[in-house]
Amino acid sequence: MVAPPILARVFRGSRLESVHRGSVAVVDQDGSVVASAGSRREGIYLRSAAKPFQAMALLDAGGDKAFRLGSDEIALLCASHGGEPRHVRVAARLLSRGGFTVEDLACGAHLPMHEPSARALIAAGKTPTALHNNCSGKHAGLLLACRLRGFEPETYWKPEHPIQGVVLERLSAFASILPARIGTAVDGCSLPVFYMPLEALALGYARLIARRGTREGADETVPERICRAMWESPGMVAGKDRFTTEFLEAGRKRWIGKEGAEGVYSIGIAAGGKHGRSLGIAFKLEDGSSRARDAVALNILAQLDRLPASSEASLSRHLAPTVTNARGFDVGRIVADVPLRNL
Amino acid sequence: MVAPPILARVFRGSRLESVHRGSVAVVDQDGSVVASAGSRREGIYLRSAAKPFQAMALLDAGGDKAFRLGSDEIALLCASHGGEPRHVRVAARLLSRGGFTVEDLACGAHLPMHEPSARALIAAGKTPTALHNNCSGKHAGLLLACRLRGFEPETYWKPEHPIQGVVLERLSAFASILPARIGTAVDGCSLPVFYMPLEALALGYARLIARRGTREGADETVPERICRAMWESPGMVAGKDRFTTEFLEAGRKRWIGKEGAEGVYSIGIAAGGKHGRSLGIAFKLEDGSSRARDAVALNILAQLDRLPASSEASLSRHLAPTVTNARGFDVGRIVADVPLRNL
């Protein structure tokens, strides 16, 4: 196995301390490769980058109208949220629309990823529930989808449950890969996690933002509704102090982005400008870390000439993050420099 | 730059999800290379793997007797502790022996690394102090060293302070590298952090456990006292649920081990058995992560035929750690397989 290239370097003082390697795939909405680094055909687990497609199990069945979902609710379906009070509220609201409760969630509990929310919970003498799990919106959406489609909801999280077949079909259509060629394992939230080539994930995001990939007879507004929800409620997709939220705020109508665990990130860029094609970007840091992820995402966008100066300014703290220590001293920095080919 | 080899693989289900690369140096007490992987000459920041040598600034001046230090105190000098109540108590006791208080510590505050201790602190409505910083023992030791040596203690943490010169000289003697060839930057706790070839760190640990490297006229019992403290008070060196503590418990009189941030680990193995030489091992995971560190350490020991079956049994949960999810399901595992050369 050839080592993938270094995508980001971590400096302490003037010297290199650590590096992050990885692979990148950039394709257009037709699947043509626009650029790559490392192995674009490398198989990866999508982790939470699959959430917009998992949300389709509900939206494709008309869940939007049936459960009166606003952008907050739809954005939370696609979220790896911080477990802030607002996220917990919307997750509970989603559940209640289908007559479900927190007991029906199979995601398990963990402390809010948003640290101040975690501290507030502990300080109040409370323990986290499944609503605080960053995947609670996705899980609530699958429960609602079961209600709407007449599936028994108890085992919605098992790979053999019919709702998982619906998810697989949607992912397959957007990523343009046969369901039989999509591998599965168990995700952090106990749902099936999907495995496919990096470039297939990139294509899924290109087609999502291009509103392609919908099957015959499907509601063609679903991909658009998902993108609109992410732009209208970016705080629901991630949360306070999170890159994805600021990235969505900066890229309204221009791009969507979603992180996955283990160093995965995926971006859809809307057609426009001199390029005239929708693009999908997917990358994975081979060590599974996240600290260089945001800088790598922005570096790729800049190299593709798709990062306007105004966005570069508003996202500047993510471009070359500083490394600080316990006293807040600036002791180093993370520098992304992705060796893209085929530009 | 040639990529270092994969030292550990992270599987989810049956498929590879992430990998950790790195370099390894194994040398004997005379500096002869016993085995290596990747680049043993690679420059690395030692981070907390330097702590036993930093502790010598106090012990070499007779701090042991002057401040009536027991094994708990000496072990804490070398610690990246969990900020458990016992660690906070011993750190405060160290300070009080020299008439210092928490206000004199320059390490900064962070929440205890030991999560239950962090939660207990938050639940009690308290904020962490510098005593909870994992480096508080090291800092307290340097303050005591200043007192004993007649240095003004206020700026003990600055690179130009004379106590830092003492530390540098000790590290230089054990690692057998000229002070001028040891680079520095700022560590997470604001002290100088040292930069040198990986194999020099390995040699430092080989000589530490072999009780070599002491300069003319120095108290020759200091290296032995440090090792003994780590064996007698392993819980002070790291803490509950920490590999280093269990590793020290399992290796009493056989080995010492100490982690550093950014994927660093260093081990000294006492002479004995058919090998008859003291060995030093140092490795760094290039991505700076720690999740595979313990498994990599044990894999190297096993390959060197220095991991007895009894230790393998007591440390079994660190050999091939399972990856669990929010519901506690076993969803994957970390497998270390270090391609050592020159065995």
For A180-203, write each residue's pLDDT tens digit.
999 999 999 999 999 999 999 999
pLDDT of B273 above 80: no
Which helix (H) or strand (E) segment is A54 a member of? Answer: helix A51-59
Give residues 132 to 161 of A whose Cβ lies within 8 Å of B. Answer: 133
A185: closest CA among B14, B335, B320?
B14
Instruction: Give me the mean pLDDT over the A144-164 stretch.
Output: 98
Backbone dihedral region for residue A277 (phi beyond 0: left; psi -120 to 50: alpha; all else: beta): beta
User: What pLDDT sits at residue A30?
Assistant: 93
Range with the lowest mean pLDDT among A136-150, A265-279, A324-338, B96-110?
Answer: A265-279
CB-based contact (8 Å) between B125 and chain A?
yes
Answer for the pair A329, B186: CB distance below 8 angstroms, yes or no.
yes
Mapped onto helix, strand or coil, the DSSP state of residue A23 is strand
**φ and ψ of B172, to 5 deg:** -60, -45
A291: closest CA among B261, B154, B56?
B261
Rounded CA gap, A181 and A196, in Å?
A: 7
Q: Is A289 in Cβ contact with B183 (below 8 Å)?
A: no
Token reading at A176: 């343009």
CB-based contact (8 Å) between A329 and chain B?
yes
Token reading at A222: 């679903």
Q: Is A332 in Cβ contact with B262 (below 8 Å)?
A: no
For B38-145, where are the E strands, in sequence order?
Answer: 43-45
B263: closest CA among B336, B331, B317, B214?
B336
Rounded CA gap, B273 and B306, in Å?
A: 9
User: What pLDDT sits at residue B297?
Assistant: 98
Q: Which amino acid is at A259?
A: E
Instruction: Give me the mean pLDDT over the B151-160 stretch.
Output: 97
Answer for the pair A136, A89: CB distance below 8 angstroms, yes or no.
no
pLDDT in tens, A282-328: 999 999 999 999 999 999 999 999 999 999 999 999 999 999 999 99
pLDDT in tens, B57-76: 999 999 999 999 999 999 99
Instruction: Using pLDDT thresholds of 50, 70 and 90, give the confidence band for residue B220.
Output: confident
Contacts of B328 in chain A (CB under 8 A): 108
Neighbours of A182 (CB within 10 A): 18
Beta bridge partners of A268: A256, A280
Task: Please work out, in degrees rounded to the nearest 5, the angle formed at the alpha carbon of residue B325 by the alpha carbons of B266 and A45.
Answer: 90
**pLDDT averaged over chain A?**
96
Contacts of A56 (CB under 8 A, 6+ apart): A166, A167, A170, A222, A226
Q: Is B119 in Cβ contact with A123 (below 8 Å)?
A: no
Instruction: Give me the mean pLDDT over the B22-26 stretch.
Output: 98
Contacts of A123 in chain B (CB under 8 A): 122-123, 125
Instruction: Give me the mean pLDDT over the B96-122 stretch.
Output: 98
Q: Which amino acid is at B126?
A: K
A218-247 burial, b at 16+ Cβ within 10 Å, e below that, comes to bbeebbebbbbbbbbbbbbbbbeebbbbbb
Instruction: Using pLDDT thresholds of 50, 70 and 90, give the confidence band for residue B211.
Output: confident
pTM for this one? 0.96
Q: How far A76 CA lies from chain B's nearest CA (Å)?
A: 19
